Structure 1
Amino acid sequence: MTVAEATPDFEQGRDDDRAFLGHPKGLGFLGFTEACERFSYYSMQTLLVLYMVNYLLVPGRMEKVVGLDWLNAHVYPGLSGQPLASAIFGTYTALVYATPILGGIIADKWLGRNVTLIVGGVLMAIGHFLMAIEPAFLFALLALLLGVGAFKGNIATQVGGLYGPNDLRRAMAFQIFYIFINASVIIAPLISGTLGQKVGWHYGFGCAGVVMVLGLVIYLSGQRYLPAEERRERASNESAVREKLTKDDWVCLVSLLLLIPVLAIALLTNQEIFNAYLVWGDQQFDLTLLNNTSSWLITVDATLSFSMLVAVAAFWKWWGKTRREPDEISKMIIGSVFTIAGGVCLFMAALTQPAGGKISLFWPIMFHLLNSIGFAHILPISLALFSKIAPKQITATVIGLYYLAFFAANAVVGYIGGLYSSLPTTTFWLIHIASASFGLVAFVIFKMVLGKRMTTGPREQAAALS
């Protein structure tokens, strides 16, 4: 495979390159590029359901969308309005977690990370601008899906490539990288969400497209500071001897595979936030404190999620100084309790809504707070668990399988979100409480039945038996 050579300005793994906050200058370019991409993505994520429900999927407009009649007849038969919007959104967000697999294959086999990432950014920008052309709505979603797939999986690998194998700055680099991401998630609804809901939907999508173009400009301008792609020698790959999986490896692998559908169900409440929850908030919440802009609910959620990730990490660090820190599966059990409590807040909001009145923000804010604590105990902890006990020979593959939980969760949310219009709101949120309760029970069973297999990897288990 032919790949680009390193530019004279870049030397991979230079410990003396500290031009950006004590890190290589390339980290700054990658961080701002990722910030622009995540801004554009979460702008789209925030506006999409509201746009479909309140503007596009209404009589007189939806008939003009090319391909929607076929989609409505063969993929979503009989759906219209909010249920159809939730179904389309669920499919879109589910595929967001599948297309990076394709992007990785294209990068590895043909184009390389750099070119694939640039193509992905261009496709995303095109997708955002196509949203201004109502008949091209489905083509816009397709362009965005392919763009995210090409972009998402390839930029993070370049962050690691900035550092040599023994450079201790690598871990902090990824923390800085994620700060860029979280900042974008917080800011995007405030800017694009406000433009979309207060000025015009197309202004919100257009803003996302402009920022994505800006991200591409930043990325291209920093090429000389980015790592060159490694040449892969096919012969050496073919001659490499892969260690066979042991019995303990297989047990760990099967355990993780069984955990994937459990995670998918346990994540339903969290993944519903961009779907029916946002529609409910737009229609029924008293949003006076949020500038009467329902998309700002996403900023509230993102801010609390980021804060609780930091707070939970700090809490367990403090706890571990004097007491034994719980293992990963125990933390996921704790997280499920908080997720259930968050769902109860939504149930109480629906139950106590005054006749003909709006819902106070008290219950929604409590939901975001408690759900964010649950999020901090389940998502990063479950990823750590997968990376910890996955057989070393196939760790990358297992991590890829982990994201199938998000694919499945969003696909199911697309269906369940469609029930919002036909069920009592209290019943709708009871379904989500039940899904979190299922996760809690399943995690407890995993803890009881599999014991140490869920807390130690196969190598450690084998060592303990020897």
Structure 2
Amino acid sequence: MSSKTIQPHQKELFGHPIGLYVLFFTELWERFSYYGMRALLTLYIATSATAIDPGLGWSNKDAIWLYGWYTMLVYVAAIPGGWLADKFLGQKKTVMLGGFLLCVGHLVLAIPGTTAFFSGLLLIILGVGGLKPNISTMVGGLYKQGDIRRDSGFTIFYIGINIGAFLSSIVVGLVAYKYGWHYGFGLAGIGMLLGQAVFMFGQKYLTHVGNFIGASGSDADKEAMKKPLNKIEKDRVIVLLISFLIVVVFWGAFEQAGGLMNLYTDAKVDRSISIGSWTEIPAAVFQSLNAGYIIIFGTLIGGFWIWWKKQGKESSSLFKMAIGTIIMGLGYVFMMFASKEASAESFGKAAMFWVFLAYLFHTIGELCTSPVSLSFITKLAPVKYASIMMGVYFAATGFGNKLAGSIGEASQLESFSGNMVVSKQAILPFMAKDSIEIKNAEREIVTIHDYPINQDKNFSLKTKVYVENGEVVYKELESEKNLNSLFELSTKEDSNTKELLATLTERKITASNPYHAKLVFEKDKDKAQITENKGDGKDYGVSFVLEEQQSEVEYATFKWLVIFTVAFGLLLLLFLKRLKKLTHGAEDKERVIHDETEGFELADN
């Protein structure tokens, strides 16, 4: 809408337009569905296809690869979503369409099967593309230009996002843990249905925002659509595009949460706990930490920046984004400590408090950057390109997510792989009976005490690995039994054995200072589906990585995330004055505006 249009009287609640709370609860439930699904995604992809609750059975590296592409496409879809709103439907109708696609997509994920899984992901990508940029733009449209409440309004909106993320990471994670992956996905879909219902029933509080201005009868609106950008508007677009580079860097580092940090927490953090029947916290539940911290600290940090500005100190959006990037990057210092602690002993694990501290710093950095970025766009974006610019912002977020996936993927070593070459009888002495969950004839999960191989389950052997007389030797960690006869590595042009031997030889790994590996024996997923083959002990593959080498790569990843993000934030501060000139004072005269009879707009001259 144009900045000249006169709008109806706007009701307020707790000092903000009541429409903010409609958008708050809509986004709360939309993010409940998205983050609930995201908390399960890499874990589901990487879970063995022969597990009691089967996943896709991909490697950690491939799981992070898919996660990176998916999270990128989810946000890149915001560009066509913003274009559709600005050119044809308006923000409100595009949000409605995106919400419908999300409902369908999340519920399709509840259907078992690979086809349903990828179809659900595609629908979610399209749905988020329609909803995400436009609902955020509508929040900005609730406030007049120069209203200091805009930033705090976005912080409140952001708290809604994270209440949804906090609840879903716990509830969806626990439901998936207890009842199965697809029940978790289904619960996420129910959350989206609630969000769609809130948006539909709250329309009477949103009559003045999100409408397609191309269909307006106002001459001012029609003129605004046709008029080319002036010098001030062009400069503001330039500074917005530069700020999107900050967004890519920030989310490239931050979004290790759903990939690398999720898998690291699952494998190398001591999650033991004794609460009722709980003996271990599911890794997916740790995804709730970020959202929980935002709920706790969101208004505090928003209030701090308002106080800081009133003291006459630097508080521009670009300054906040630079500080946020630095603080977020420093969170990985705690993951460096966690990595050192976990690698201090063979198959060691790090204490949980390192993860708590890392997420705390990530959250403080996020609160200084993400809601501020959303508000910044609505302050500077030309009105006729409002949704498109918000779409570009989310596309930058998507590229940051893809960067995060690439970084996480690079931090996971390719597994050495081969095949078990002995009979079941020959390998039984190397394993013990264990409590195993299986599904009985009634499809109920029951626990039995048996050898894993009798139930076609995965099993693992912790080993020492070293070089002796020019050969790679594998010995069981506790018993010192030689395991070389149990399996052989795959022979390729670049032989696994030659590569492993070269690595161990170069590092001078001998019996006195061995490396370690967990040999994972996994039944071929297709053969495991044949009932008459159950328990035959055949068709087992073997895979492993060298624990010490993997720890080195993870530590280096955390270290370079710290160095790059802090250096980038400092560089941004160095050029802050030049960048602020391009905003032409858009943030210089902010104040509280309660004039409820005038219209609400995005950027103005």
TM-score by length of 1: 0.77
Q: Distance in 1 between matches of 2:381 and 2:212?
A: 26
Deviates more, 1:397-406 or 1:194-203: 397-406
Which residue among 357, 369, 377 is the counterpart of 1:366?
357
Task: Give yes or no for contact 2:45–2:55 (8 Å, CA) kept in 1.
Answer: no
Cα distance change, pair 125–240 in 1 and its aligned pair in 2 (3 A): closer
Cα distance change, pair 49–240 in 1 and its aligned pair in 2 (3 A): same
Q: How far is 1:458 from its partner? A: 5.0
Q: Distance in 2 between matches of 1:220 and 1:368?
A: 35
Q: How far is 1:346 from its partner? A: 0.6
Counterpart of 1:358 in 2: which secondary structure?
coil
Task: Give yes or no for contact 1:345–1:363 (8 Å, CA) kept in 2.
Answer: yes
Match in the other structure for 1:95? 73
Q: Distance in 2 between matches of 1:266 and 1:379?
A: 9
Match in the other structure for 1:296? 285
Q: Distance in 2 between matches of 1:265 and 1:169?
A: 27
Cα distance change, pair 400–28 in 1 and its aligned pair in 2 (3 A): closer
Task: Give yes or no for contact 2:331–2:358 (8 Å, CA) kept in 1.
Answer: yes
Which residue among 127, 151, 172 is the counterpart of 2:105?
127
Match in the other structure for 2:196? 216
Counterpart of 2:47 in 1: which secondary structure?
helix
Cα distance change, pair 33–81 in 1 and its aligned pair in 2 (3 A): same
Task: Give yes or no for contact 1:186–1:302 (8 Å, CA) kept in 2.
Answer: yes
Q: Distance in 2 between matches of 1:219 and 1:368?
A: 31
Which residue among 390, 398, 402 is the counterpart of 1:411?
402
Q: How far is 1:396 from its partner? A: 6.4
Q: Distance in 2 between matches of 1:146 and 1:276?
A: 25
Deviates more, 1:189-198 or 1:169-178: 169-178
Cα distance change, pair 432–266 in 1 and its aligned pair in 2 (3 A): farther
Deviates more, 1:140-149 or 1:282-291: 282-291
Task: Give yes or no for contact 1:265–1:436 (8 Å, CA) kept in 2.
Answer: no
Q: Distance in 2 between matches of 1:169 and 1:209?
A: 33
Q: How far is 1:85 from its partner? A: 1.1
More strand by share: 2
Task: Give yes or no for contact 1:128–1:209 (8 Å, CA) kept in 2.
Answer: yes
Q: How far is 1:35 from its partner? A: 1.9
In structure 1, give the amino acid aligned to 2:64: S
Cα distance change, pair 38–107 in 1 and its aligned pair in 2 (3 A): same
Q: Distance in 1 between matches of 2:124 and 2:155?
A: 26
Q: How far is 1:339 from its partner? A: 3.1
Match in the other structure for 1:52? 45
Equivalent residues in 2 for 1:184-223, closer than 5 Å = 184-223=164-203
Match in the other structure for 1:71? none
Aligned residue pair count: 431
Q: How far is 1:350 from its partner? A: 1.1
Alpha-carbon deviations, 1:52-83, whole Å to 9, x = none? 1115699x9788x9xxxxxxxxxxxxxx5111
Q: Are positions 1:280 and 2:271 aligned together?
A: no
Cα distance change, pair 27–329 in 1 and its aligned pair in 2 (3 A): closer
Task: Give yes or no for contact 1:388–1:457 (8 Å, CA) kept in 2.
Answer: no
Match in the other structure for 2:567? 441
Cα distance change, pair 387–446 in 1 and its aligned pair in 2 (3 A): farther
More helix by share: 1
In structure 1, give the amino acid aligned to 2:160: F
Cα distance change, pair 222–302 in 1 and its aligned pair in 2 (3 A): closer
Q: Are positions 1:430 and 2:556 aligned together?
A: yes
Task: Give yes or no for contact 1:340–1:433 (8 Å, CA) kept in 2.
Answer: no
Equivalent residues in 2 for 1:224-263, closer than 5 Å = 224-227=204-207, 229-230=211-212, 232-233=214-215, 236-237=222-223, 240-245=226-231, 257-258=241-242, 260-261=244-245, 263=247
Task: Give yes or no for contact 2:88–2:212 (8 Å, CA) kept in 1.
Answer: no
Task: Give yes or no for contact 1:266–1:438 (8 Å, CA) kept in 2.
Answer: no
Equivalent residues in 2 for 1:341-420, closer than 5 Å = 341-353=330-342, 354-381=345-372, 398-420=389-411
Unaligned regions of 5+ residues in structure 1, if any?
1-10, 66-79
Unaligned regions of 5+ residues in structure 2, if any?
1-5, 414-548, 589-605
Task: Give yes or no for contact 1:386–1:399 (8 Å, CA) kept in 2.
Answer: yes
Task: Give yes or no for contact 1:26–1:225 (8 Å, CA) kept in 2.
Answer: yes
Match in the other structure for 1:72? none
Q: Distance in 1 between matches of 2:39 and 2:20?
A: 27
Match in the other structure for 2:577? 452
Cα distance change, pair 111–137 in 1 and its aligned pair in 2 (3 A): same
Q: How far is 1:231 from its partner? A: 5.2
Q: How far is 1:31 from its partner? A: 3.3
Alpha-carbon deviations, 1:323-358, whole Å to 9, x = none? 734655554454444334311211110111143343
